[in-house]
Structure 1
Amino acid sequence: MPRSQERTKPRGGWGVVAVVALGGAFLLSNGLDLNGGPPQPAQAASLVSDPAHDEAARRLPPAPRPLKASPPTRIRIPALRVDTPVTRVGLDAEGWVDAPPPQDGNLAGWYGGSPAPGAQGTAVIDGHVDNEWGPAVFYTLGAVEQGRHIEVDRQDGRTAVFTVYGIEVVGKDGFPAARVYGPKGVPELRVITCGGDFSKREGYDGNVVVFARLTAVRG
């Protein structure tokens, strides 16, 4: 399996899922290029506890009424100039949540076992930070800031607009699955890619996780 692939594996249900991120193929084969690799969240912006998340989330506008389920077709993060299609991913033969094909660096994956973005619950979209040809769709994800918007187009013609309230790097050892994926009572979104410290031998040791809440609906 390509070393930049992000995967998750259910362990007793979606509420306790662990993310395992393997090292970036481009950085492994080319060395720490591109100014030291992808940007990582600033320490001051890294939210490391539930109370901190809750405090930031309380400053957001009230969440709209949850939408009915409809698969996502595209994700945009205007502040990062990310604008890419979304494909549905499921489980591979080993029971891990798959990622988009690594050769397609400009494709994000929605895990179909999670709620549709905009529906009640916590939707999950992942994507590669790089592949063997260079930076991929979420290479700059670690640079997103609180208050920025993430827009997800859906098959029903509606666009779910989420506002970022937290971003952090989570180690793959002891991944806090319940905190990352657990329901918050409103529609939420997690966007995930590889992150953390990098070594040529082991690759990335964690994930960049963006926490966002539905704050508007268009269409």
Structure 2
Amino acid sequence: MAARGLSSPLSLVPGAAALLLVLSVERALALPEICSQCPGSVQNLSEVALYCKGTPELMLHARCCLNRKGIIVGLDLQNCSLKDPGPNFSQAHTAIIMILPQDVTCPGDINAWDTVTFYINNQTCEAQRNLCNSTGDPEMCPENGSCAPDGPGLLQCVCAEGFHGYKCMRQGSFSLLMFFGILGSTTLSISILLWGTQRRKAKAS
């Protein structure tokens, strides 16, 4: 008879399996470099931490708040001596909220965010504006395309289904076979031409 108060090995299996699942998910999602650009982690009372903890699907890792797909939703770089956020800053183009050092401006400038709050040592950029709604140019995107946000202060034109090419004017799916066929035959022709030219020069000398 087993002693009371001791868990049987079988009762530990679900907990161990859950732990292994969490660890495997975290390893599968490569942490973007911008999240660990500054040492330390997001402070508990940070607006990014509060936002992240308020949504069950989000999780804090280093300086970032990520969704289950590993996409950056929040970035906290306060208490970080940065003058320039560096080339990895573009990884946070999906962020809904950012806390940045005083010398680092909100990406896309003030007009790209609904709220920009300045503090003594940092600034907070909240809620990216959808430029597709604010632009007054009806010809911004072609007839067969639609406007879509592409980061702070940026937008892109996405072709409707069944259209592709310049200004989405070509109908039908993009033929990869034709593209690589033309590319391959062109490369082969140039290679043969160069080989023949070099061979003639070698014989002449």
For the criterion TM > 0.5, the same-fold answer is: no
TM-score by length of 1: 0.22
More helix by share: 2
TM-score by length of 2: 0.23
More strand by share: 1
